[in-house]
Amino acid sequence: MFIRLPLSLALLATALAAQSVVLHSVTLSPNNQVRVTYSKSFNTCAHLLTPSNQITHAANFFCTSGSFITVTQPRSSFNNLFAVGATVKLCNGNNYNDCSAPVTITGESLFASAASLPVGAGGTLTFTLEAGPANAANFYAIVGSATGTTPGVPLGAFTLPLILDGYFDLLLSSPNTPPFSNFQGFLSPTGTATAAINLPPGLTFLLPVTLYHAAVVADPFGATLVSSAIPLTFTP
């Protein structure tokens, strides 16, 4: 009895420790879409909570287990505790002691379908630009840099978080030439656009490199939106 009880407690503690959850990002787009990216190893639905354990949503959205799961829901599915700049954590729905590290909710407009792209096998990476209805039919461009994000380029009231270099010039001068598609154009009536990098297999000469991409939206009077920079790493 006195031997088995501590052993049982140790096994229980080990099992609980294995139920890990990581909150990677929480963003709110100008189109009022909430995107939450997370990883978790347990089957129980997770809850997105404030630091004081108040739930921020009306239904269980975070139930799928796995790595880098992205859930997109309208802002209306969340309550008034959810706001850009607020801090949230993702917790096991049955055990609020099993939580991720806190993450700050950010406002964002440019999203990528992955953080890396294999050059050996090739593949497609998709960018989604959500600039909001106020930017409907405005011109957009997705540009990039191979050398970094700071100090950036002043664009009126904005700063484009990229360093000017050869990759920037390439995307600016040949934005819709393979392997790039729809890197420049006009936004939809809802203020959205989709672009892609369609990488053929075998381009191993690109290794090792991380590229940074950001979006600019403009009307006839100047820039109306500049996104944050998204890193893209080419892997073997």
Alpha carbon distance 37, 61 (integer Å): 11
| Same domain, yes or no: 120 and 208 | yes
| Same domain, yes or no: 81 and 119 | no
In a domain, 41, yes or no: yes
Q: Output the pTM of the full model.
A: 0.78
Per-residue pLDDT, averaged over 132-153, amounts to 95
Alpha carbon distance 30, 199 (integer Å): 29
Per-residue pLDDT, averaged over 51-67, amounts to 96
In a domain, 136, yes or no: yes
Q: Do residues 37 and 59 touch, judged by C-beta distance below 8 A?
A: no
Count other Cβ atoms within 10 Å, centred on residue 222. Answer: 10
| Same domain, yes or no: 137 and 178 | yes
Q: What CATH code is carried by the domain that includes residue 23? A: 2.60.40
Q: What is the mean pLDDT of the chain?
A: 90
Top pLDDT among 6 and 39 is at 39
In a domain, 218, yes or no: yes
| Same domain, yes or no: 178 and 100 | no
pLDDT value of residue 5: 39
Residue 48 pLDDT greater than 90, yes or no: yes
What pLDDT, in 10s, does the model give residues 89-108? 999 999 999 999 999 999 99
**CA triple 216-35-218, angle to 5 deg:** 15
| Same domain, yes or no: 56 and 114 | no
Residue 59 pLDDT greater than 90, yes or no: yes
pLDDT value of residue 168: 97
Alpha carbon distance 61, 104 (integer Å): 19
| Same domain, yes or no: 119 and 136 | yes
pLDDT value of residue 6: 46
**Looking at residue 67, what DSSP letter applies?**
E
| Same domain, yes or no: 142 and 194 | yes
pLDDT value of residue 124: 96
Written as one string, the DSSP assignment of 163-180 is --SHHHHHHHHSTTSTTE
pLDDT value of residue 208: 75
Domain that includes residue 143, residue range: 110-235
pLDDT value of residue 19: 56
198 backbone dihedrals φ, ψ, rounded to 5°? -105, 95
| Same domain, yes or no: 47 and 90 | yes
| Same domain, yes or no: 90 and 182 | no
Structural domain total, the chain = 2
**Looking at residue 206, what DSSP letter applies?**
G
